[in-house]
Structure 1
Amino acid sequence: MAPAITLAAEAPKLSAANTGFMLICSALVLLMTPGLAFFYGGMVRVKSTLNMLMMSFISIGIVTILWVLYGFSMAFGTDSGSVVGWNSDWVGLSNIGLTELWDGYTIPIFVFMVFQLMFAIITPALISGALADRVKFTAWSLFVALWATVVYFPVAHWVWGAGGWAFELGVIDFAGGTAVHINAGAAALGVILVIGKRVGFKKDPMRPHSLPLVMLGAGLLWFGWFGFNAGSWLGNDDGVGALMFVNTQIATAAAMLAWLIYEKIRHGAFTTLGAASGAVAGLVAITPSGGAVSPVGAIAVGAIAGLLCAMAVGLKYKLGYDDSLDVVGVHLVGGVAGSLLIGFFASGKGQSEVQGLFYGGGLDQFWKQCAGVFAVLAYSLVASAVLAFLIDKTIGMRVSEDEEISGIDQAEHAETAYDFSGAGGGAARTAAPAPVADTASKKVDA
């Protein structure tokens, strides 16, 4: 009998379908940052609307350039000490072939690079919601550049880069529970502990000025999040991306309902702000876990996260930290919940064979998730606080008290979100109408 011949595994080939799918997903993730801008912009008072929009938009500009120059290399280059990556060929995106494939996948490196760029853009933008009304735009811009370099790029390598310590440990983070949401939420807490509270915190009403704008932003986030989550499998040849897509919808719906039920019991009303916040909480929680849990598990993850986040947003009043738009309560708490719940609800039938406690796998994965969660939380909290302190002691982080009271939009951007003095405003209505006869004669002359 002739000996069996072992054939070498066929090298992956570029897939036009996967490449097109990933480019669409990249565009969807980019859309999330303007969606976030609208979400935050509607939640603040009128005098801070433009500043919130700009804090998100400037992240697009700054992080894009840094990612091209060195960020992609730091996050996904050759590992160095399980902490950071580096590849000199990727600096400035030099020496990358147009059809050169990403390691083991069927998409070009350029496509993977631009998809991950969109994650790098939205993560510091998430932090801005905690700092509403009071941060200089120049200081914020500098913070974004430094934070992306010192915190986001290394943490992305920990979690997703080959050789990163969390990746090698087996921490599951499908699309960014640790690298994005816990990272941003912990950073937000670190910065607000340094810069302090808004003028009038717990004294003046600081209600959202446009709930329709909030709902529009939440809708754009929900829509874009399908690219954020499903795209993170880098293709859908085995159905895992489809599972993530389905679980994203399920968990978001469950979290929104859980938040609204809690709100009705606790405060006596179902609010639009609660619906929007609950949906975002569900999106945050399913981001790390959606490839590992079943659809029923996604219901549990979403409902638990919605309830925990709804309870957590009130902690700022009890503990005295001014998280303006509940970044800590939603992104930090939701990210922690979604990441840790993998240790209980991982089914072993999705992205890996890892099983959680409720599926007979014990607590092994739970302890791995704890290691990833609390290491990222601690590093981001401390590093972000240090960066904010250094900026505050050099160029200053906050606008003056007078500028904060009069409005940061006018002080920092020389604009206002709404102009009521133009056509249809009071001045136009008080102008005397032209005589009918004169108007008619002018038409005849013409």
Structure 2
Amino acid sequence: MSLFVKPGTEWESVYSRCWSVAPDAFGEGRLLNFWGGRRRLEGTPGELRSPIDGTVLTGPAPLAPIDVKRAVRASLNEHRTWSFASLPERKARVLAALDDFAEHGELLALLLVWETGRTWQAARSDVDGCVEGVRWYAEHMLEPCDPLRGPVGNLASWRHPMGVLMHAMLVQALTGNAAIANAPAEGGVNCLTLATSLAARHGVPVTLVSGGEAELSTSPMLGRTSYLDQHGVSCWGVWGFSDWPKLTPRVRASLGQDRQRFVVQRSLFDDFLAAYLPAVRDLRFGHPLAVADPADPLPELDFGPMVNDGRVQELHDIVDDALGQGAVLLHRGSLDEGRFVPDQDTAAYFAPIAILKAPATSPLHQAEPFGPVDSVVLVDTEAELLAAMHAGNGSPSFMCDEEPTAERLAAALRGPVHGPQRLDGQAAGVELPIQATAETHLGTPVR
């Protein structure tokens, strides 16, 4: 049966809903930057193409540097007022914004799907993560923090516009700081435009501009600049492990969602492959909004497209280079296995690939690209295991049956890892408690 875009989720329908919710931001046939408490017509409007199928979307309107400086100064003025607001008032305004986010969560998520190619479930998770995470901070913040001397400038990529960027801005507002963000150029600007409008209605001092990365990095009017991207490879160590059904959700989580590597005890490699290959062959990908019947729910996919076709070619080149240097191909999927509508543009899609022993000179070794590529490394000793897990400079985790071994490996891996953002808006390098269990995670925010 042929697939089609679920009625009501087409881009035209989604954009029309945005206009009805926030005509101040979407009513001019273009996206407007927001600073100084109102929408601005400055900037040259552009277009984006959805990675899903090439649909033309409303794009950002980059500001000239002088206009970005004006926006930063206006944010500084808002900061000076907001910093004197009481903690109860800050909480009330931020929580009211979160209520609006929750009310319009479906719309915010649909915007993320079209702009970034996230699956429906991943987009909802990004929106819900923002709402739930900021609520947690609001509920647990009992004493006011000392505001910075100026607003916080935020720079982030397209990957998590709500769950990282907007989450950070609202936490910064809770702590008495105005927040200004640069809209990601590759996707997320429509979603952030709507979220900014909803937050501003309740007096939360947020500013959203396109362009101006340099000004948001160096302006002396800022109290701090927050770089919100996460880089590096997240490694899963597999050592003394036998509960192989638990591997399947790790495979589904890794391909297309994280930059991930499996570091596997060599003596377990045959059992690992027996569990891994069926899981990777069963991955579901394709058009995130395609259904066979109008009444069908949106599909549960493991991943959708990459952010654009240029990233697809880049990833093909990286994989081909690794294979040319001696890496071993474990699995290569095909776009024929994807769920697509008839005659769909699939230029931004990349079928899943898994390789063994990426060479040390490959980007897959140190900074694995975001996309549906897994790499596997074999090790013989615990020392090799720990070294390989640290090599990717990401968040290490491991799977192990025996609690004493888990305790020892956890102690060796313990160190400064990424936890929740500190309430003063700084990036928090914290040491999190690690429990010795059959499955140990490092870097999981404490709730």
**TM range, smaller chain:** under 0.3
With CA pairs under 8 Å and 6+ residues apart, which has the higher RCO, 1 or 2? 1
TM-score by length of 2: 0.27
Higher strand share: 2
Greater helix fraction, Structure 1 or Structure 2: 1
Higher Cα Rg: structure 1 or 2? Answer: 1
